[in-house]
Structure formats: C-alpha cells, structure tokens
C-alpha cells in the first residue's frame, strides 16, 4: 500500500498525551497542531507534526490535502447494540404520545419486540442490516464500536448475534469489539434465577469456547437483573476470561455503580441515577463511566448523568451513542458531542477526549487507537470545518469529508 501524507489540516487534533485514560484537566489537552500533517505507512502512523516537516519526509507518498479542514482520531463508540432486526417505530410513536419506557415494555414493546424480530431473522438477514448500520457509523466519523448481543435471549440466538458480529468485523472496515449481553432482559415465561442459570451454565461456556466476545455485560436494574444475579453472572464471566461491564443505574439508583467498583469492571454505563456515593465508588474502583446522553434525549427525559461531578471526582469519562432501535436510534457521535456540551455541560475538548482516547482505553485498545500518534493505527476522520468545536456547535447533520481505517479510505 502506497504511503499517505495528510497535509495542511487547519487543526490536526492529535489527542496525544499520557499513555493512560485522561482525567481532570487532561481531558481538555487535545495537543492540536495547526497546519498539521501525518505520514502514514503500512496502515500505521509514522510521523505527526507541522505540514512542512511531513512534506520533507513524504517522498512519493500519496497526498491528502486537508486544507481548511479538521483531522481527528476516528471516534471510538464504547456502547452500542449494533446487531438487531427491524425497528421500534411503534414504541417511538407511543413515547411521543406520552407513554413511559416501562409502560411500553409491559404492552409488548421495548426490548422484547426487538427480541422477537431478531430471533426470526437469519444470520444473513442480520448481516445485511448490520452492514447498513456499520456504514452509518463510518459516515459519522466512527471507526471502532463496542457491540453487544442481547436481542436473542436463547443460547442459539445469542450465539447467532455474536457470529454476525464476527462476520461484520471481517467484511466491513468498521472495527467491532464484541460484548456478550445475554442478561439484557428476562425472557417471557422464565423466572429470573432460572434464566441466570442458563446464562452461566450454557451461554457463557459456549461464548468462551468459540471466542465470540471480549466483554460480558448485564442490565442491572429493577425488573431485569438484581445485584446478586448480576454479581453471579459477571463473576462467572470473569472466570471465563471475559471482562465485566454493567448497565448501571439507568432507571433507578440500584447500587449497580457500587457493584461495578466491587467487581473492578471495565466500565459502568448509563449512570443517569447514580448519586455521590456511586460516583465515589467508581472513583475508588477505577471504573470508567460511559455516559449515554442520546438515550436520555430519545426517551424524552431530562435526567442526564452528572458528568461534571464525575470529572471533578477524577473519573476518566467516556461518551457513547448507545445505538439501539428503542431508546437511542442514532449512530452519530457528533450528535452525542452536542448533547454532552449542551446537556451535561462538558466542554467541547472534554467531549472529544471522551469520544476518542478514553473509550479506546475502556476497550483495552488505548495503545493502538484513540489518538493520532506515531505507532498507532491510522484511523482518522476529516471534517469540513476548520475548528473542532464546530462538530458539537453545528448539530443534526454530518460534516464528515472522509474517513480512513488503517490508512485506507472507506468513506
């Protein structure tokens, strides 16, 4: 593959810095190079610096003229539900009429309606729809996503979803980091404890034997899986080598954030109802909070996570889309940047760090992606603006000019 030289970026937002997740003031330190450039060879960033320096070393490299544009690391979306069948338009309309999340679920909507459609779909059908979703992410400048199962809720269907993820990883430029979320909801006609037995005795061994996931997640919430059930699942998952993540404190302050700290989970996600004690527990347990303002917005709520308090507590905050058909039907990380700034009062710089380098570390890939530095994968996006703050300022439409994954243009 011919070398690439990116030249004359209005802002090359490198996010270079400490080789660890960013906290406190570090979140605002984006290491921007004006009139910046990069030299890329064999899918890896070889050199980053002023354009004059890059030109002097470019040789016969193919030139990418980024004049008047912003170059950013590819967004890393650390919480998505990428694989599912159909949509939830009926739920959307019912919410517009005033029904709550719980009311919709009791009426046969919610997660269960997607489970029925996903069970009925073949692997081939799911792959076709997932490829469409993958393209949406790339169009918004995202190059890596964490993707959860959880719309199967049987051994056969959970494995089917995870196998589709593996194929998606092989057949699209988007990098997929797979998470097993068999404990997303309790299937109909099952007792919760009975279903937990199925998850730990049958699903986890199969997921492990086929090496289909890196992480295990649980929806720890009233009416789904309680603290003890969640603890059991995640401890067994750890024994199988899967790193724990938790859907925590989304609908109520259930104590899930404290459980995440106890289990040394990689992340605790949602956290809309987490209080000061929960934030303190996350800090003491070195757990990264993954905040999902898109789901708060889409559900018509105003209870956003306490991002400022988390930053002040020294937490390495992450923001993500929570892409799913019910409560956050968006693949747009720029939209999440806007919500982070307007609704959670994060600065544009903090939001960029929370959408690039911090999620990269939350997925165990901070040494490979998330910033534009020598030796890292050449995953980057070019945007049609000359100041990175415009990505959050102008909202509701993509400003993406082009996207590169491992040095290859995919948009």
The fold of the 75-331 domain, in CATH, is TIM Barrel (3.20.20)
- Which backbone phi and psi does 112 adopt, to 5 degrees? -65, -35
- Which backbone phi and psi does 389 adopt, to 5 degrees? -65, -20
CATH number of 4-74+371-409: 2.30.40.10
Contact 78, 217 (CB under 8 A): no
- Domain 4-74+371-409 shares a fold with domain 75-331: no
Q: Which of 172, 373, 204, 181 is nearest to 267 (CA)?
A: 181
Tell me the β-bridge partners of 11: 34, 70
The DSSP string of 230-284 is HHHHHHHHHHTTPEEEEEESSSS--SHHHHHHHTT-SEEEE-TT--HHHHHHHHH
Per-residue confidence in pLDDT tens, the chain, 411 aa: 899 999 999 999 999 999 999 999 999 999 999 999 999 999 999 999 999 999 999 999 999 999 999 999 999 999 999 999 999 999 999 989 998 877 888 888 888 999 999 999 999 999 999 999 999 999 999 999 999 999 999 999 999 999 999 999 999 999 999 999 999 999 988 999 999 999 999 999 999 999 999 999 999 999 899 999 999 999 999 999 999 999 999 999 999 999 999 999 999 999 999 999 999 999 999 999 999 999 999 999 999 999 999 999 999 999 999 999 999 999 999 999 999 999 999 999 999 999 999 999 999 999 999 999 999 999 999 999 999 999 999 999 989 999 999 999 999
Question: What is the structure's pLDDT at 145?
Answer: 98
Task: Show me where the domains of the chain are located.
Answer: 4-74+371-409, 75-331
C-alpha 357/C-alpha 95 separation (Å) is 35
Residue 210 CA: distances (Å) to CA of 66, 241, 277: 43, 13, 39
Q: Identify the residue whose tokens are 């593996």.
A: 166
Q: Identify the residue whose tokens are 């196998």.
A: 163
Tell me the β-bridge partners of 72: 381
């Amino acid at each position: 593959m011919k070398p690439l030289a990116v030249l004359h970026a209005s802002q090359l937002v490198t996010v270079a810095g400490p080789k660890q997740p960013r906290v406190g003031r570090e979140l605002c330190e984006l290491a921007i190079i004006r009139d910046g450039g990069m030299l890329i060879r064999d899918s890896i960033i070889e050199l980053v610096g002023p354009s004059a320096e890059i030109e002097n070393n470019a040789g016969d490299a193919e030139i990418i003229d980024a004049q008047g544009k912003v170059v950013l690391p590819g967004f890393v979306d650390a919480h998505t539900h990428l694989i599912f069948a159909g949509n939830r338009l009926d739920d959307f309309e019912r919410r517009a009429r005033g029904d709550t999340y719980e009311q919709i679920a009791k009426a046969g909507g919610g997660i269960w309606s997607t489970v029925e459609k996903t069970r009925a779909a073949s692997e081939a059908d799911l792959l076709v729809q997932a490829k469409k979703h993958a393209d949406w992410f790339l169009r918004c400048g995202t190059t890596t996503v964490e993707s959860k199962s959880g719309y199967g809720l049987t051994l056969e269907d959970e494995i089917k979803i995870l196998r589709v993820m593996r194929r998606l990883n092989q057949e699209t430029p988007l990098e997929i980091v797979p998470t097993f979320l068999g404990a997303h909801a309790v299937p109909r006609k099952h007792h919760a404890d009975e279903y937990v037995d199925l998850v730990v005795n049958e699903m986890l061994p199969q997921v492990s034997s086929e090496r289909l996931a890196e992480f295990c997640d649980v929806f720890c919430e009233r009416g789904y899986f309680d603290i003890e059930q969640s603890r059991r699942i995640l401890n067994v998952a750890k024994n199988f080598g899967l790193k724990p993540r938790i859907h925590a404190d989304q609908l109520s302050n259930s104590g899930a954030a404290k459980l995440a700290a106890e289990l040394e989970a990689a992340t605790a996600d949602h956290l809309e109802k987490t209080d000061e004690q929960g934030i303190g527990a996350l800090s003491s347990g070195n757990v990264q909070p993954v905040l999902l303002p898109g789901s708060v917005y889409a559900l018509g709520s105003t209870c956003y996570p306490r991002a400022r308090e988390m930053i002040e507590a020294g937490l390495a905050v992450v923001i993500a889309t929570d892409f799913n058909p019910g409560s956050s039907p968006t693949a747009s990380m720029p939209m999440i940047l806007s919500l982070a700034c307007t609704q959670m009062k994060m600065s544009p710089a903090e939001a960029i760090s929370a959408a690039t380098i911090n999620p990269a570390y939350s997925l165990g890939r901070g040494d490979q992606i998330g910033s534009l530095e020598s030796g890292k994968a050449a995953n980057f996006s070019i945007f049609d603006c000359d100041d990175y703050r415009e990505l959050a300022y102008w909202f509701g439409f993509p400003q993406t000019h082009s996207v590169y994954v491992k040095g290859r243009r995919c948009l």
